[in-house]
Amino acid sequence: MSKDPLVSVIIYNYNYGRYLSACFDSVINQTYQNIEILFSDNASTDDSWKIAQSYSQRFPNLFFLARNRKNFGGAANQKNCLINMRGKYTIFLGSDDIIKPDYISTCVDEMEKHLDAAFVMVHRSIIDEHGGETEEAPFYDNDYKLYPPSQIGVYFMTPINPSISQVFYRSSSLQKPGHMNTLSHMNTLNDLYFGHRFVDFLMCLEMPIIYLKKALIAHRIHGESQSQRATENLIQIIGQYLLNHQLKEMTLGFDFKVVDKKFEQSIKKIAAVSLRYSTDALIHGKPKLAKKYWHLSLAIEPELESSKLAQELSKAIETGEHELIKSLQTNHDGKLRSVPYKPDPPFERI
């Protein structure tokens, strides 16, 4: 028996067998040892299940395995693990991501020090399909404890944690009335892409959270990742637009004056981001996708039609002129965030 609290690592998977061993190894090789790995597979057609069985045989007291007879979607895959987890703390780890060796120990230490915190959010690095790693600036400039409503405005403006693996939950926070239901029974759109954002937002309305600027997870970006599919089917914009309207509704019982201002700013930003997606699609030889994002940006914010970028994009999309597209590529801001931010009050450095 360990005096250290048990941590449940939930790994749900569909056809990511080529990344699965690296994911499992990153958990097994943690400096923190009192863990359980709950793995659920959505009827993968690759070698994912054989890999999971092999690890379970090697570490028989560490793994819980489940497999759906067909692909029932992400929520059903997670639920297999949720109903069996026992840990005081919980991580939802993408099967294509990896965590750094001190991730769990660092997060447990913070949660044990801050007993009122709902979760710890850590910074990330980015890895490609071949394992090449890229650093990016942390979102905040220091380690912080963020009290309501510090964090809620951020969720309107940006996906501060693009990977759900960045969030280390207190299990009792997940199991509060309404939270588990929200997580497990989202409609299809929100369940696949934004379900966890709703849960995190609910917690930030009521409880403080911890932010750590150290990159403790490596989030994998590749051609078949969920974020890439979301870009191809416009969910990155349509979903965020819908999400922000729903988040605003969720704040109606709270007297947070920051909400209206952040909401209005966020709608303008979503429209501007849609234009950037349009530019990126055109640069990468996808004029139909570029046209969709162009029209979507104007549907959200019609005033953008008179902007220089919108007019240049419109002409480049319609004519396909090489020089116009080359000019857009030269001026396209596709860089990673280079400057961390200071959070909105109330907060304290830790």
291/176 same-domain check: no
73/119 same-domain check: yes
- Please choose, from the candidates 285, 293, 294, the residue with its C-alpha nearest in 3D space to the C-alpha of residue 326: 285
What is the percent of the chain where pLDDT is above 90?
66
Strand partners, 220: 127
Report the distance separating Cα 194 and Cα 242, nearest Å: 10
Largest separation between any pair of C-alpha atoms in the chain: 69
336 within some domain? no
225/241 same-domain check: no
Q: What total of structural domains would you count in the chain? A: 2
Instruction: Name the DSSP class of 132.
Output: -
CA angle 90/180/159 to nearest 5° reads: 70
Report the distance separating Cα 7 and Cα 105, nearest Å: 10
Mapped onto helix, strand or coil, the DSSP state of residue 86 is coil
Query: How much is the pLDDT for 125?
Result: 95
| 119, 138, 211, 299, 343 from 143: Cα distances, Å | 14, 10, 6, 39, 10
Residues 6+ apart with CB under 8 A from 142: 213, 349
68-116 pLDDT tens trace? 988 777 777 888 888 899 999 999 999 999 999 999 999 999 999 999 9
Instruction: Name the DSSP class of 344.
Output: P
207 within some domain? yes
Residue 321: pLDDT band with limits 50, 70, 90: confident
| Residue 322 confidence (pLDDT) above 90 | no
Query: How much is the pLDDT for 186?
Result: 41
What is the percent of the chain where pLDDT is above 70?
90
57/118 same-domain check: yes
66/164 same-domain check: yes
Query: How much is the pLDDT for 223?
Result: 65
Q: Which residue type occupies 165?
A: S
SS3 content of the chain, % helix, strand, coil (to 5): 50, 20, 35
- Which residue is listed with tokens 């560490």? 62
**Residue 180, exposed/middle/buried by CB under 10 A (0-12, 13-18, 19+)?**
middle
How many other CB atoms are there within 10 angstroms of residue 84's CB atom?
A: 14
Query: How much is the pLDDT for 184?
Result: 46
74 within some domain? yes
Report the first-to-last Cα separation within the chain, whole angstroms.
31
Report the distance separating Cα 16 and Cα 34, nearest Å: 26
191 within some domain? yes
41/78 same-domain check: yes
Instruction: Decide if 239 contacts 270 (C-beta within 8 A).
Output: no
Domain that holds residue 103: 7-231+343-349
| Tokens coding 188 | 């299809």
227/262 same-domain check: no
1 within some domain? no
103 within some domain? yes
Which CATH number do you get for residue 148? 3.90.550.10
| Tokens coding 174 | 């997940």
How would you classify residue 341: left for phi > 0, otherwise alpha for psi between -120 and 50, otherwise beta?
beta
91/196 same-domain check: yes
Instruction: Decide if 214 contacts 122 (C-beta within 8 A).
Output: yes
Report the distance separating Cα 9 and Cα 39, nearest Å: 8
210/299 same-domain check: no
22/144 same-domain check: yes
As a whole number, the mean pLDDT across the chain is 88
260/324 same-domain check: yes
2 within some domain? no
| Residue 303 confidence (pLDDT) above 80 | yes
Mean pLDDT of 146-164: 90
Residues 6+ apart with CB under 8 A from 292: 234, 278
114/246 same-domain check: no
310 within some domain? yes
Query: How much is the pLDDT for 182?
Result: 43
